[in-house]
Chains A and B, each alone.
Chain A
Amino acid sequence: MNDVNKEVATREEQAPARQEAAEVVTLRPATDIVESKDGVTLYIDMPGVSKDSLSVDVDQNVLSVKGAINLHTPEGLSPTYMDVHSGTFERHFTLGEQLDSSAIEAHLEQGVLKLSIPRSEKHKPRKIEVKVA
């Protein structure tokens, strides 16, 4: 097996989400993951979440993303139809040890959170010069 690629991809951590489901049902935001030689980029759909209500943190190798939806609803609003029943997005990802979790870059634009996680330097692919004797 090709061990080099073993843990490059982010993998989901299921346990925390399950524990919290008992307290409050959270939405699992749709996520795209793109892998390149420099690292991994996640695109996470979190409509209605502003920068102030978003938290992104890494504990050990678990990346947690959580955000509250704020719709600025007027007073006295009574719901008549709802596709979105929860006010919170939450998802956890396990990071491979080849990724540098201390160098994550986060950008939030119109409800899309983009997380860029670089590969640690020693795990970046290198080109090796072949010397001809």
Chain B
Amino acid sequence: MISNMLRFPLSMFDDEMDRWFFPEAFAAGSARLRAGYPPINIGTTDKGVEVYLFAPGMDPKALDLVIEKNLLSVEGERKLPELEGDNNSVRQERFEGRFKRVITLPEDVDPDSAEASYKDGVLHIRIAKKPEAQKRQIQVSVN
């Protein structure tokens, strides 16, 4: 830190200036992702549950997905590129390190049906409801 300030005194200063003069940028001015990492969105349809984890820049093979009873857990580690030579980090905001998130699934899902895909840095997990729990249309017969 000290050496950074000595070598790049003003770029560090700029960062502080932002904090002093534009405090809203560090508060609620624009929405920021501040929940546990990775952020998650979950939705349901008649057929099942859709889970989206926002975990960019991952090797999908390094993600550990487990469903036990009705708990889905996602575990992994995010490594950021190392600084080369005399490169100097001016700002670091991106998450780095190990993470784990556990999601409670509805009781009526079928764990064997789970499918996962990774695209544009989003891990999408789809778990179908058990056939007997899926909504059915019942025909009314007229005598």
Residue of B nearest to A96 (CB): B11
Cβ of B141 within 8 Å of any chain A Cβ, yes or no, is: no
- State whether B43 touches A79 (Cβ < 8 A): yes
Structural contact, B29 and A21, CB atoms closer than 8 A: yes
Q: Which of chain A's residues have a CB closer than 8 A to the CB of B30? A: 17-18, 21, 25-28, 90
Which residues of A from 69 to 87 have beta carbons under 8 Å from B?
A: 70-86
| Contact count A vs B, C-beta below 8 Å | 168
Provide the residues of chain A in CB contact with B24, threshold 8 Å: 18
| B contact residues around A31 at 8 Å (CB) | 91, 93-94
Cβ 8 A contact of B57, one of A70, A72, A80, A112: A112
Indicate which residue in A50, A77, A83 contacts B33 across the interface (CB closer than 8 Å): A83
Interface size class of B (residues with CB under 8 A): 35 or more
0/1 interface trace, chain A 55-75, chain B, CB 8 Å (1 if under) = 000000000000000111111
Chain A residues with CB under 8 Å of B57's CB are 45, 109-112
Judged by a CB distance under 8 angstroms, whether B143 is at the interface is no
Task: Decide yes or no: A110 and B58 within 8 Å by CB, A71-B41, A82-B41, A83-B33 being known contacts.
Answer: yes
Contact call B35/A83, Cβ cutoff below 8 A: yes
Cβ–Cβ contact A6 & B10, under 8 A: yes
B25 CB, nearest partner CB in chain A, Å: 6
Contact residue among B39, B43, B83 (Cβ-Cβ distance under 8 Å from A83): B39
Chain A 6-37 interface residues, beta-carbon cutoff 8 Å to B: 6, 8-12, 14, 17-18, 21, 25-28, 30-37
Residues of B contacting A80 in the complex (Cβ-Cβ under 8 angstroms) = 42-44
* Nearest CB of chain B from residue A102's CB, rounded to whole Å: 22
The 8 A CB mask of B53-95 against A (1 = contact, 0 = none) is: 0111110000000000000000000001101111111111111
A49 contacts the other chain (CB 8 A):
yes
The residues of B that contact A43 with a CB separation of less than 8 Å are: 80-81, 94
- Measured in the bound complex, the distance between the Cα atoms of B38 and A30 in whole Å is 12
B93 and chain A: residue at smallest CB distance: A30
Q: Is A95 an interface residue (CB 8 A)?
A: no
| 8 interchain pairs, CB-CB under 8 A | A14-B18, A32-B80, A32-B94, A45-B121, A74-B45, A77-B50, A79-B41, A110-B57
Q: Knowing that A27-B32, A31-B91, A48-B52 are A-B contacts, what are 12 other residue pairs whose CB atoms are under 8 Å apart, sorted by A's residue number?
A: A25-B30, A30-B93, A33-B89, A33-B91, A35-B89, A36-B86, A37-B86, A45-B94, A80-B43, A81-B40, A85-B31, A90-B30
7 tightest Cβ-Cβ pairs between the two chains A and B: A111-B121, A111-B56, A9-B11, A83-B39, A47-B121, A47-B54, A112-B57
